Amino acid sequence: MIATLKKLFGVGPAVDLGALIANGATIVDVRTSGEYASGHIKGSLNIPLAALGSQMSKLKKDKPVITCCASGMRSSSAKAMLKSNGFTEVHNGGSWYNLKKFEK
């Protein structure tokens, strides 16, 4: 049961998100454009979750991707969508506000 929950929510071994960001990982904020406009991480891409399926071509499959949203739920869904479409290194960054500490 716990393993299933961890897999569902993308929880696993700790990943150094700061190092990934420093090395050029793409941050994809899947909140709505209105939410994004109210605050976001500089340099992040805003691709609302509802539009992710049609806008995946904006992302490179061979480059690390970190998804984020308001709480981590939509970014978890986004991670699953990207993984099921051939993206190999995708990480759920959770809340955009928690990732803000890594902002350049």
- Of 20, 27, 41, 69, the catalytic one is 69
d(CA 12, CA 58): 27
Question: Is residue 68 among the annotated active site residues?
Answer: no
Write the CB contacts of 78 (distance below 8 Å, at least 6 apart in sequence).
28, 30, 49, 52, 67, 69, 92
SS3 51: helix
Which residues are marked as active site? 69
